[in-house]
Amino acid sequence: MVETTEAQPSIGRLVVIGIGLIGGSLALALRAAGACREVIGVARRQKTCEQAVALGIVDRAVTGLGEVLPELESGDVIFVAVPTLAVEQVFADLRDKLPAGVTVTDGASVKGSVIAAAEKVWGRVPEFLVPGHPIAGSEKSGVTAARDDLYIAHRIIVTPVEDTDAGHLQRVVQMWQATGAEVLNMPVREHDEVLAATSHLPHVIAFGLVDTLAHDAENENIFRYAAGGFRDFTRIASSDPVMWRDIMLANRDAILKSIDLYSANLDSLRAAIATGDSDRLMGVFTRAKAARDHFTKMLAKKAYTEPMQAQEVTFIAQPGESVSGELRVPGDKSMSHRSIMLGSLAEGVTEIEGFLQGEDALATLQAFRDMGVVIEGPVDGRVTVHGVGLHGLQAPPGPLYVGNSGTAMRLFAGLLAGQAFDVTLTGDESLSKRPMNRVADPLREMGAEIETGPEGRPPLMIKGGARLHGIDYKLPMASAQVKSCVLLAGLYADGETSSTEPAPTRDHTERMLTGFGYEVQRDGARATLCGGGRLAGGRIDVPADISSATFFMVAAAIAPGSDLLLEHVGVNPTRDGAINILRLMGADIELLNRREVGGEPVADIRVRHAPLKGIRIPEEQVPLAIDEFPALFVAAACAEGETVLTGAEELRVKESDRIRAMADGLEVLGVDAEPTPDGIVIRGAGEGPAFGGGTVDSLGDHRIAMAFAVASLRARDTIRILHCANVATSFPNFAELANRAGLKLQEV
C-alpha cells in the first residue's frame, strides 16, 4: 500500500447550500485538494442529494438546513450557492441558529443584493459574512455539471464590507486558493457595474437574440442554417433561466446602464449601415477586433499592453557553428512608428507595407485607435490608416501606454503638445526610468504645458489647448527622437521651427514628412519647417530594420564558414554606422541591388566570415550605430586586439544602461571588457572560442538579449540569457530566424 500524506485542511467542514455547478464544483475541488474535513450538501430535492453523494461531490447531503446547523462549529464554512434572489431566504434560515465562529460566504453574481438581503435579515452586514463571486461557470447547470477543475486559474472576487471580520475573510480567501483560483478584492458597487457590463449584458443580448430568432415566424427553419457564428455568439443563452432572471432583477440599475450604452452604439451602427458609412463601420469593427485580439492575448497571458515583465522568457543558446541562407528581418522600428503617426495625422488614406508587428509599434498603433483613428490591420505587415488630418485626433479614453518605446513617448510628446485635449503618456518599467526632460524642455520653450514624473521621468502629462510657437532649437545631444519631437510639435506651432543637431542622426522624420508632401528645409545640421500645413496620405514601404539585421551581420562576421544574405534592408546613411564599423574591423560586407524605395535607400546585404581586428571606433559613427553597439561589442570580443569606444554616453540611457549591461555580461562570459563613463574597451580573442558559458542578464533590454544570443556562435559552452521577453518589442520572430540561420537557440 502506498502511503499518502494528507494535505492540511484550510477549513473545517464545508456546507454547500445548493449543489449545482457552482456549489458542487467547489465541493469537488476542496475534496480533491484535501482542504476540508467533510463536505455536507444541502439541496431542496432528495434526488439531488442522492446524486451528489453518488457522484462523490459531498460526503453526505440533507434536504433541510436545520438538520446540520447544530453540528457546526468555529472554523466551518457555509457556501450559499443558490440563485441570487433565494439568498435572502437562506439568510433568514440561518438567523439565530448559526454557531459562533462559522463563516458564511456566497457565490451570487450580484453583490449589492446580497448585502441588502443581509441587512434585511440581520439589520446589518454580520462580521462572519464574506460576499464572494467566482468568475467561472458554464452554460451547463445542475449537480451533474459539477467539476473539480472549474476554478483552476479563474478569478474569485470577494467584496468584504467594513464590518467583515479579517479572520473570516482570510478563511474564505484560503478556501478559494485551495481550488487553484486567484482571489481579488473589489468594492461591492464596482463589482456589480463591472459584471453588468462584462457578463450580465452579454447574457441579455444572447437570450434576446435567440428568442428573436426563435420567434421569427417567417424563418421557421432558421436554426437549421445557423452555423459557427450563431453557436459561438449564443452559447450562454442555454444557461439557467432562473439564475439569470434573478441576476437581472437583482442588478437592475447597473444592467440598465449597460443596456442603454449598448443600445446607443447599436443605433449608431444601424445608422452607419443604413447610410453606407463604411468608415464608421471600419472604425467600430477594427477597434473591436483589436480589443478582442487583445483580450485573447490576455487570456493567454501575453497582452502587448500589459507590462512585459509579467511574463518571463529565458534564451538558452548552445554553442553554434556558422550561419547561412537568405533572411528578411522584420520592418524598421523607427519608420513603423512614424508611418502610423504621420499616416494618422495625414488627410486621406495611407497604405503601409513592411510594418513591424512588434509590441512597441503595435502599442503606437493602438494609441491612435484610442484617439479615434481608423486603422485596418496589421496583416502580414500591411496596414491601412484612415488619416484624420492634423486636427482630427480625439481625446483618448485614458492614458496612452507606449510600452517599452522611448521613440514613441518622445515623438508622441511633440505631436500631442499641439492638441486641444489633455493626455497622459505612460510606459513599462524600463521606459519609466528614462529621461524625458530632453523633450519636455524644448516643448515648454515652444509654449507647451507639460509635466513629468519625479526627476523628469515618465509619465508625461500634456495639457491640451496650448498655443505653440516656433523655436530655433540647438539639440544638446545627438538625438533623432528629440529632433523629431521638436519638428512634430512644429507642425502645430506658429511660424518656423528649426532643430539643429550636433552630429547627424537618423532622418526618417524629415524624409517621411517630405514624402507626405510637407515641406522640410534641410540645411546641413539644421532642419526647418513651418506650422499650419497639411500632410497628404500615400504609400509607405518600410524596409527591414538595419538594427535587427545587425545581429545577423555580426553573426556571419564572427562565425567561420558563414555566408548570409539579408534582404531588403534599409541602408539610410544616417543608420549605416554598423556596416561602416564592421568594415573597419575587417568584415566582408557587400551591399547588393541598391535601390531607393519610398524615399529610403535599401539594399540586400551579403556578409561572409572574415577575421576581425580591434579598432578605435570613430566618434562620428556613434549616432549612426547607436542601437547597434550591443551586437558590435560581441564582434569586438571576437576580434584580434583592442576595440575602444568613446563618446557614447547616450548608451547609458537606452532601454538599459547598455555599457554596464554588456560589460557585466561579457565579464560573466570571460571577456576582458572594461567600461568607461562614455564607452568601453574590449580586448578580443581573435581566433577560436571568444566566450565561455554562463548566465547573463539582459535586464529586459531586447538588444542586449539578442547580442548575447549571437555570442553563442563563438562560445565554448551554453549561454543562458535572462529576461528576454522584450525581444518581442522589436524582433518578434528573432528565435525562429536565428535557428533558421544556424544558431541553436531555445526560448523557455
Distance CA 13, CA 39 (A): 6
Confirm or deny that 357 is annotated as ligand binding: no
Task: Kindly state whether residue 528 participates in binding ligand S3P, applying the rule CB under 6 A.
Answer: no
Catalytic residue among 106, 627, 697, 701: 627
Q: Is 282 helix (H, G, I), strand (E, B) or coil?
A: helix
The reply on whether position 479 binds ligand S3P by CB under 6 A is yes
CA atoms within 13 A on the CB side of 190: 9
Phi, psi (rounded to 5 degrees) for 488? -65, -40
Interaction pattern, residues 603-632, with ligand S3P; x per rule: CB under 6 A: -----------------------xx-----
Residue 730 assigned ligand-binding role: no
For residue 249, the minimal CB distance to ligand S3P (Å) is 56
At residue 499, the 3 state secondary structure works out as strand
Q: Is 407 in contact with 384 (CB distance < 8 Å)?
A: no
Query: Is 545 an annotated catalytic residue?
Result: no
Which of 456, 641 has the CB closer to ligand S3P?
Answer: 456
Closest by Cα among 407, 533, 415 to 468: 415
426 binds ligand S3P (CB under 6 A): no
480 binds ligand S3P (CB under 6 A): yes
Q: How many chain residues touch ligand S3P (CB under 6 A)?
A: 11
**Do you know the residue count of the chain?**
748
658 known member of a binding site = yes
Q: From residue 393 to residue 422, what is the string marking binding to ligand S3P with x (rule CB under 6 A)?
A: --------------x---------------
On the question of a cis peptide bond just before residue 459, with omega within 30 degrees of 0, the verdict is yes
**Site for ligand S3P contains 481 (CB under 6 A):** yes
Distances (CA, A) of 146 to 17, 32, 137: 14, 13, 10
Nearer to ligand S3P, 83 or 406 (CB): 406
Window 532 to 561, contacts with ligand S3P (CB under 6 A): none
Place of cell 485626433: 393
Closest-by-Cβ residue to ligand S3P is 334
Residue 572 in the binding site for ligand S3P (CB under 6 A): no
Task: Output the smallest distance, CB 511 to ligand S3P, in A.
Answer: 12
Binding piece for ligand S3P, criterion CB under 6 A, among 107-115, 240-248, 418-426, 476-484: 476-484
Beta carbon of residue 500, minimum distance to ligand S3P (angstroms, whole number): 15
Q: Looking at 203, 386, 506, 720, which residue binds ligand S3P (CB under 6 A)?
A: 506
278 annotated to bind ligand: no
334 is in an annotated binding site: yes
| Residue 703 engages ligand S3P in binding (rule: CB under 6 A) | no
Q: Closer to ligand S3P at the Cβ: 258 or 481? A: 481
- The yes or no reply on residue 723 touching ligand S3P (CB under 6 A) is no
311 is in an annotated binding site: no
Residue with smaller CB distance to ligand S3P, 406 or 531: 406
Residues 642-681 that bind ligand S3P (CB under 6 A): 650
Closer residue to ligand S3P in complex, CB, 15/352: 352
DSSP string, 528-577: EEETT---B--EEEPPBPHHHHHHHHHHHHHSTT-EEEEEEEE--TTTTH
Q: Which long-range contacts (CB under 8 A, 24 or more apart) does 585-593 make?
A: 585/557, 585/612, 585/613, 585/614, 585/615, 585/635, 585/636, 585/639, 585/643, 586/610, 586/611, 586/612, 586/613, 586/639, 587/553, 587/557, 587/612, 587/635, 588/557, 589/553, 589/557, 592/565
- Extract the runs of DSSP E, i.e. beta strands, from 609-699: 640-645, 672-676, 679-685, 694-697
d(CA 676, CA 7): 56
Could you give the residue ranges of the DSSP H alpha helices within 354-463?
A: 359-370, 406-416, 437-445
Q: What is the DSSP string of 691-729?
A: B--EEEE-TT-HHHHHHHHHHGGGBSS-EEEE--TTHHH
Q: Would you say 169 or 578 has its CB closer to ligand S3P? A: 578
Pick out the residues of the known binding site for phosphoenolpyruvate.
333, 406, 434, 481, 658, 703
Pick out the residues of the known binding site for 3-phosphoshikimate.
333-334, 338, 479, 481, 627, 654
Catalytic residues: 627
Using CB under 6 A, list all residues that contact ligand S3P. 334, 407, 479-481, 484, 505-506, 626-627, 650
Pick out the residues of the known binding site.
333-334, 338, 406, 434, 479, 481, 627, 654, 658, 703
